[in-house]
A and B are shown apart, each in its own frame.
Chain A
Amino acid sequence: MTFAKHLKYNILFLFALVFFGNILAEKNNSKETEKEFNVSEMIMHHIKDAHEWHLWGPEHGGTSIYLPVILFDNGLKTFNSSNFYHGAIVEQKDSITGEVSEYYLGKGPAAGYALCHEEIYILHEGKLEFKEGHPHNVQPYDFSITKNVVSLFFGTFLVLVIMLSVASFYKKNGAVAPKGLAKFIEPLILLVQDEIAYTNINHNKYKKFVPFLLTVFFFIITNNLLGMIPLLPGGANLTGNITVTLFLATLTLLITVFSGNKNYWRHIFATPGVPIPILIIMVPIEIIGIFTKPIALMIRLFANITAGHIIILALISIIFINKSLAWGALSVPMALFISVLELLVAFLQAYLFTMLSALFIGAAVEEDHH
Chain B
Amino acid sequence: MDLIKPDLGLLFWTGLVFCLLLFLLAKFAWKPILNAVNARGQKIQEALDLAEKTRAEMQLLQAENDKIIKEARAERDLIVKDAKETATKMIEDAKTKSKIEADKIVEGARTSILMEKNAAIAELKTQVAGISLSIAEKIVRQELSSDEKQKSLANKLADDVNMN
Contacts and interface: CB of A to CB of B under 8 A. Distances in A.
A159 B15 contact: no
Interface residues of B, number: 35
Contact of A167 (B13, B15, B33): B33
- Interface of chain A, main secondary structure: helix
B24 to A, nearest CB: 6
A215 B19 CA distance: 10
A13 interface: no
A186 B22 CA distance: 18
Interface stretch (A171-179, A258-266, A280-288): A171-179
B48 to A, nearest CB: 15
A49 B2 CA distance: 10
Interface in B1-32: 2-15, 17-18, 20-22, 24-26, 28-32
Interface string A21-50: 000000000000000000000001001110
A306 interface: yes
Nearest to A133: B1
Contacts of A211: 22, 25-26, 30-31
Secondary structure of the B contact surface, majority rule: helix
A: interface residue count bin: 35 or more
Contact of B15 (A70, A144, A146, A247): A247
Nearest to A144: B9
A141 B37 contact: no
Nearest to A251: B18
Contacts of A251: 18
B56 to A, nearest CB: 26
A270 interface: no
A160 B7 contact: no
B113 to A, nearest CB: 105
A23 to B, nearest CB: 38
A241 B10 contact: yes
A313 interface: no
Contacts of A159: 21, 25
A252 to B, nearest CB: 12
Contact of A247 (B5, B18, B39): B18
B25 A117 contact: no
Nearest to A70: B9
Given A145-B13, A211-B25, 5 more contacts: A49-B10, A175-B40, A215-B22, A242-B5, A302-B4
20 contacts: A44-B2, A47-B3, A152-B13, A152-B14, A156-B20, A160-B21, A167-B28, A170-B33, A174-B36, A175-B36, A175-B43, A190-B37, A212-B22, A214-B25, A242-B4, A242-B6, A243-B7, A243-B10, A246-B11, A247-B11
Q: Ordered nearest first, which 10 A-B pairs have the shortest CB separation? A: A170-B36, A175-B40, A163-B29, A211-B26, A175-B39, A167-B29, A243-B10, A143-B9, A243-B6, A142-B9
Interface of A: 44, 47-49, 70, 117-119, 141-146, 148-149, 152-153, 156, 159-160, 163-164, 166-167, 170-171, 174-177, 186, 189-190, 193, 210-212, 214-215, 218-219, 241-244, 246-248, 251, 302, 306
